[in-house]
Amino acid sequence: MTNVRVRFAPSPTGDLHIGGVRTALFNWLFAKNKNGKFILRIEDTDEARSTRTYVKVILDAMKWLKLDWDEGPGNDGNLKYSPYYQMERKEKGIYQKYADELIAKKFAYYCYCTPEEVDTMRKKAHVNRIPPKYDGRCRYLTLEQIEQKKKEGKIPVIRFKMPNTGTIILNDIIRGDVKFDNFLLDDFVIIKANGIPTYNFACVVDDYLMEITHVLRGDDHISNAPKQMHIYNALNWKMPEFAHLAMILGSDGSRLSKRHGHMSVLEYRKEGYLQEALINYLALLGWSTENSQQVFTIEEMKRKFAIERCGTSPSIFDPMKLLWLNGEKIRSKDPEEIYELFVDWINYTGNVKLIENWDTELLKKAIFLERDKIRLLKDILSLVDFFFNKDVDYKEEAVQTVLTAEKLKDIAKIVLTESSIRLSKHYDFSAISLEKYARDLAVEKNIKTSQVFHPIRVAISGRKQGPSLFHMMEVMGKKEVIRRINITIDKFFI
């Protein structure tokens, strides 16, 4: 078998979104699995909407996701296939050349109809309940008629001449044979009036010239397949294999859009999702292994990915599962790695000042203590900030239910006062010593050990939940613990 070459071809008209990442990912995984090449091509033929900014945004997103490309922007070592921006290719006359060839072979023709005229045709067809399409009136223009149009200053588009009869069969890797009736197909535009090729044409020309062997793309493109196949045939080109992936839908079952929550991969990055979590989760939508494995390393995915095991039915994006997977990935890392990830994240979000006074070693220890609770990198901020804030931020609810409640306040006062004295004088902060202290005090005052621990936790952290008291104290240091307990006594019991 020839070497696999696949491509991801985004158009720079917006951020890279979830659906795009999925398409890119499956192409990338397929390439990696087959030891083939993954190519990135920028389809910037939409003059009005394409921007350089979006090109950069997409490239940055691909880099963050670590979906590295063998050929593409910034990496066109192979002159045989470059450039990888369609507008640059257009400047070289690549598309015009094949459009001219199609005209010469009578597979395409100039059309002088205005967009308004074509629109009217389609509307009429809709009313008549027949498939909406261009009626082909410019197909057989005589030379005189063409001269006349030119004299009137009309600028033509080039349309592909679709056969009126017969069927064309797409043999899709995932879906099997899909039949299309040629009669229903439009004489679609291949070169616009401004000389720029349309998607369906540019895509075919580039896939051919770049020797793409497999086209994996979203299901929403399946109706483009027959049009593109006719071009391959007209030009006598060998077709790539096609595989149409089932769509990812929003929670209400409709096409994923902004109202379903985050769309852009950048937003996920900002929230503190890990690249590998997003990748793992997206791989689960539409692809599965025999044993329904859920958590994969990137290497594992590359090894196990199989296009044959991609499903045909659409799937709904589930943010909860992604969140769980993100926590799962974070838990699997050691504190050092999480710290690095956290620093990267905080740099990315531009909030470095939030942690500029935080001691690095203390932060690493704190991360270690709270690791199991981190689901998003941004959680770290609120999980460990109390270690670094000299003034305890007492949570209203915690104070009320643990320190100042009528039934508990006397006990809380005694516990804190005794703790302040005994901890500073008689106990070191080892786990054993602390347990003994708590037990002794509990027996002495006839209360539960938890009634010893809880007030202390609120006193030094301001909250009811946190790491075990022993760990917390160990990391915070004896002096600081005593200081905070004393401040709490002053604040609430004097």
Q: Which two tokens stand for residue 161?
A: 């001449």
Given 78, 145, 171, 223, the residue binding RNA (CB under 7 A): 223
Among 71, 207, 219, 276, binds RNA (CB under 7 A): 219
Our finding on whether 200 is near RNA (CB under 7 A) is yes
Q: Which of 63, 106, 258, 491 is catalytic?
A: 258
- The three-class DSSP label of residue 93 is coil
Among 31, 457, 484, 485, binds RNA (CB under 7 A): 457
Of 106 and 259, nearer to RNA (C-beta) is 259
| Torsion angle, alpha carbons of 442, 447, 448, 454, to 10 | -90
Q: Pick out residues in 314-333 that bind RNA (CB under 7 A).
A: 314-316, 318, 320-321, 324, 327-328, 331
Shortest reach from residue 58's CB to RNA, in Å: 12
Return d(Cα 22, Cα 247) in angstroms, integer.
9
**Contact flag: residue 133 with RNA (CB under 7 A):** yes
445 binds RNA (CB under 7 A): no
Kindly tell me which residue out of 93, 131, 261, 477 binds RNA, with binding defined by CB under 7 A. Answer: 131
Q: DSSP label at 9?
A: -
- Judged by beta carbon, residue 348 or residue 440, the one nearer RNA is 440
Binding of residue 9 to RNA (CB under 7 A)? yes
18 binds RNA (CB under 7 A): no
Cis check: omega of the bond before 73, within 30 degrees of 0: no
Write down the least CB distance from residue 266 to RNA, Å: 19
Q: Segment near RNA (CB under 7 A), from 234-242, 413-421, 457-465, 477-485?
A: 457-465
Tell me if 229 contacts RNA by CB under 7 A: no
Q: In the stretch 372-411, what mask flags binding to RNA with x, by CB under 7 A? A: xx--------------------------------------
Site for RNA in 148-177 (CB under 7 A): 157, 175
Q: Is 258 a catalytic residue?
A: yes
Tell me which of 2, 35, 165, 313 binds RNA, using CB under 7 A.
Answer: 313
Of these, 237, 348, 470, 493, which contacts RNA (CB under 7 A)? 470
**Do 256 and 263 meet the contact criterion of CB atoms below 8 Å apart?**
yes
Asked if 468 touches RNA (CB under 7 A), the answer is yes
378/367 Cα distance (integer angstroms): 12
CB of 360 to RNA, least distance (A): 23
By CB under 7 A, the residues from 26 to 55 that bind RNA are 43, 45-46, 49
Residues numbered 68-107 forming contacts with RNA, rule: CB under 7 A: none
Q: How many CB atoms lie within 10 A of CB 409?
A: 15
Binding residues among 231-260 for RNA as defined by CB under 7 A: 246-247, 249, 252-255
- For position 261 contacting RNA by CB under 7 A, the verdict is no
- DSSP-assigned letters across all residues of 223-234: GGHHHHHHHHHH
β-sheet bridge partners, residue 181: 167
Is 466 a binder of RNA (CB under 7 A)? yes
Which among 22-30, 283-291, 337-345, 360-368 is the span making contact with RNA, rule CB under 7 A? 283-291
Q: Could you tell me which residues come within 8 angstroms of residue 429 by beta carbon, excluding any fewer than 6 positions away? A: 423, 470, 473, 474, 478, 481
CB 312 within 8 A of CB 175: yes
Which window, 58-66, 129-137, 232-240, 297-305, contacts RNA (CB under 7 A)? 129-137
> In this complex, which beta carbon is closest to RNA, that of residue 318 or of residue 360?
318
Segments of 388-447 assigned E as strands:
none
The dihedral built from the CA positions of residue 82, 86, 87 and 93, taken in this order, carries a sign that is: positive
CA distance 246 to 309: 12
Measured from the CB atom, the residue of 269 and 454 that comes closer to RNA is 454
Render 51-91 in DSSP notation, one character per residue. Answer: -HHHHHHHHHHHHHTT---SBBTTB---TTT---BHHHHHH
288 binds RNA (CB under 7 A): yes
CB of 356 to RNA, least distance (A): 27
How near is the Cβ of 12 to RNA at its closest, in Å? 9
Per CB under 7 A, which region of 71-79, 100-108, 217-225, 228-236 contacts RNA? 217-225
d(CA 103, CA 111) in angstroms, rounded, equals 12
DSSP calls for 100-168: HHHHHTTSEEEE---HHHHHHHHHHHHHTTS------TTTT--HHHHHHHHHTT---EEEE---SSSEE
Residue type, 13: T
Which helix (DSSP H) or strand (DSSP E) does residue 169 occupy?
strand 167-172
Active site (catalytic) residues: 258
